[in-house]
Amino acid sequence: MIILVAMLTVAFFIIVTGVMLGLRTWVREEAKVEERLLAPDTHTLSYEVPNGQDPTMFRAALAEAHFTSISLDDAGTEQLTIACEEQDRSQVRDVLEHAHAAGARPEHSVRRVRFSDEA
């Protein structure tokens, strides 16, 4: 009985340590991505996520299309910063519009995506 309790205790600590190391690695990778996207030499687009929409949905769609993005909270407004070249702007717009249409609720109308640098 004592051996079983000891084995379970050791297994618990191994699992907890593994989870902690995994989270630590994930946080460091996200910090590297954020640092790269916020660097002045990286061409990015900024998109304001509509109120009531989940930025994760847009980030997943962008990742599937091989675009890197981060979500930032700008005074209560979710902003996506997306790394892409200028010639990829229309492709990013299409990805965001498709993601918006796929996740739109009846109270949210599907609208044309506008980036922060557009009038």
pLDDT digits (tens, 9 = 90+) for 8-30: 999 999 999 999 999 999 999 98
CATH number at residue 76: 3.30.70.120
- Alpha carbons 96 and 80: distance in angstroms, whole number: 11
Q: pTM here?
A: 0.71
- Alpha carbons 56 and 96: distance in angstroms, whole number: 12
What mean pLDDT is reported for the chain? 86
- Together in a domain, 69 and 109: yes
Containing structural domain, residue 79 = 43-119
- Together in a domain, 63 and 113: yes
- Together in a domain, 56 and 114: yes
Task: Calculate mean pLDDT across residues 43-62.
Answer: 87
Task: Match 């890197």 to its residue by tokens.
Answer: 68
- Together in a domain, 76 and 111: yes
User: How many domains does the structure of the chain reveal?
Assistant: 2
Q: What are the structure tokens assigned to 5, written together?
A: 């309790």
Question: How high is the pLDDT of residue 75?
Answer: 77
